[in-house]
Amino acid sequence: MIDSHAHIYSDDYAEDRSAMLDRAWNAGIEQIWMPNCDHETIDGMLELAEKYPGKCLPMIGLHPTYVKEDFEKELQVMEDWLGKYEFIAVGEIGMDLFWDVTFKEQQEKAFLYQCGLARRHNLWIDIHSRNAFWETVKLIEDFADPALTGIFHCFTGTLEEAHKAIELGFKLGVGGVATFKNGGLDKVIPYVGLEHIVLETDAPYLAPVPYRGKRNEVAYIDLVAQRVADLKEMAKADVIAATTANAKSMLNKVSK
C-alpha cells in the first residue's frame, strides 16, 4: 500500500516515531508521501526522506491555512527548495475557508502561483480544499493548463464534486472519513471508478473508526482499504492493488 498523504514529521510522533513507522512497514506500507505545510516543517520532513530513501517521499508547498501576510516570502522558500531538491509534488496547497476567510485573496494567489511552480517543474499538485471545493475548481479552470493534475486530498465531497474533480484530471484521496457513519462517502465511492481513487491517512489527523478521535497513524490505512472494499463490494486485496497502482502512476504521469 501507499499512503499518499501523511504528516509523519508531526510532533504528535515525537515520542514513538520509529515504532509508528515500524508498524506501518509491518502492515505492508510501501511508501509514505509527505505533504509540506510551511518553512518550519521542511527540515523534519527532509530528515525522514533521507532516513528512509524511496519510502518516505516529500512534497513541497505552502498549506492554505499557513497563508498569512508574509505568504510571498514563504512561497520564495518553496521555490528555492524546488531548485535544489527532488520532490514528488507541490503540496499541500489549495483553499481553506473553514477556519478563517481573512486571507482568502492571498490563498488564491498562493494557489495559482504554486500551480505555476508545479508546471515549471513537471510536478503534480496535492490539493487541500475545505469548504472551498468550487472556489478551488474555479482557480484550476482559470489556470487553464490541461496538463495540471494531482490529487484532491481528503476528498469528502458529493458525487457531483467527485465527477468534477475527475473531469479536471485529478484523483480522489480517500482516508479515514470514509469510515465515519455520517462521512458521506458511502454515497460517492460506490459510483466512482476505482481507477480514480488513492488511499491516504492524513496522519496524525482523521483517524478511521474504531480509532476516531485518537491519533491517527499510517498503519490504519488498512482500515480505509477495507472500507472502500466494502463499499465497492470487492476484495480488499483488489482495492489495495488498484489504488497502489493509481498512486504509482502519479509519479510518472506529469507532462513535460
Rounded alpha-carbon distances, angstroms, from residue 119 to 28, 89, 109 = 32, 10, 16
Q: How many other β-carbons are positioned within 10 Å of the β-carbon of residue 239?
A: 24
Q: What is the 3-state secondary structure (H, E, C) of 191-253?
A: HCCHHHEEECCCCCCCCCCCCCCCCCCHHHHHHHHHHHHHHHCCCHHHHHHHHHHHHHHHCCC
Q: Is 196 annotated as a binding residue?
A: no
DSSP summary character for residue 128: E
Residues with Cβ < 8 Å from 216, sequence gap 6 or more?
176, 201, 202, 203, 204, 205, 206, 207, 208
Q: Is 121 annotated as a binding residue?
A: no
Q: Is 39 annotated as a binding residue?
A: no
Residues with Cβ < 8 Å from 70, sequence gap 6 or more?
none
Task: List alpha helices for 58-132, DSSP H.
Answer: 71-82, 104-120
Q: Is 5 annotated as a binding residue?
A: yes
Q: Is 226 left (phi over 0), alpha (psi -120 to 50) or beta?
A: alpha
Q: Is 202 annotated as a binding residue?
A: yes
34, 56 contact by CB (below 8 A): yes
Q: Which grid coordinates belong to 232?
A: 465497492
Residue numbering of the annotated binding site for a divalent metal cation: 5, 7, 92, 128, 153, 202
